[in-house]
A and B are shown apart, each in its own frame.
Chain A
């Protein structure tokens, strides 16, 4: 079946602009996660959604970052007033239910963001 998809695959923007990154999880998966992969910081957790519960935003690096998940499916990660340090690969993952200890997270190919 179809895996996790993300769009765009690449995004180049100018410093100060807003960007939106999209994630389509695997159909039927109730949990969705965003991570960021950068040279300096490695792979970092950003935010997590589970069903209709309030998201866990504990990994968001600043208030310029926000995410929403509409209808329990598609998610959008928004970065406002982008900075050069936001340049990274943004990865989305989904799993059947919550609970990393039992459920496998399936990752999308990522969106490579470059802020000039």
Chain B
């Protein structure tokens, strides 16, 4: 079975400093991994996805994530945080064992950005 674990429920950074949101996955197969962002009262938006191509994946708004098989990790990073990055971030894995459409979500990490 597939699963994801987001290691921090809340991360707080200052504007202009780096962002690191941590995610570990478990999968019997080569996983498909995603990061989604949810701004308050808004829908989920895809930031980036990994589907066994390049291990370093670049997404929107300056975010990127690196797939590390040896560490079973898929951490999300950004060099410099903006106030507009304050939101909840979800690490997600595609469910091979379930339906073709099933996404399995982590519990989420709430990112706060201080001025």
* A42 contacts B by Cβ under 8 Å: yes
Asked if A110 and B43 make an inter-chain contact with CB atoms under 8 angstroms apart, the answer reads: yes
Name the interface size band of chain B: 20 to 34
User: Given A101-B51, A104-B49 in contact, is the A43-B101 Cβ separation under 8 Å?
Assistant: no
Asked if B108 and A50 make an inter-chain contact with CB atoms under 8 angstroms apart, the answer reads: no
Asked if A58 and B105 make an inter-chain contact with CB atoms under 8 angstroms apart, the answer reads: no
User: Given A33-B101, A50-B100, A100-B100 in contact, is the A107-B94 Cβ separation under 8 Å?
Assistant: no
Question: In the bound complex, what is the Cα–Cα distance between A35 and B102 (angstroms)?
Answer: 9
Measuring CB to CB, which residues of chain A are less than 8 angstroms from any residue of chain B? 3-4, 31, 33, 35, 42-45, 48, 50, 56, 58-59, 91, 93, 95, 98-102, 104-110
Measuring CB to CB, which residues of chain B are less than 8 angstroms from any residue of chain A? 32, 36, 41-46, 49, 51, 90, 94-95, 98-108
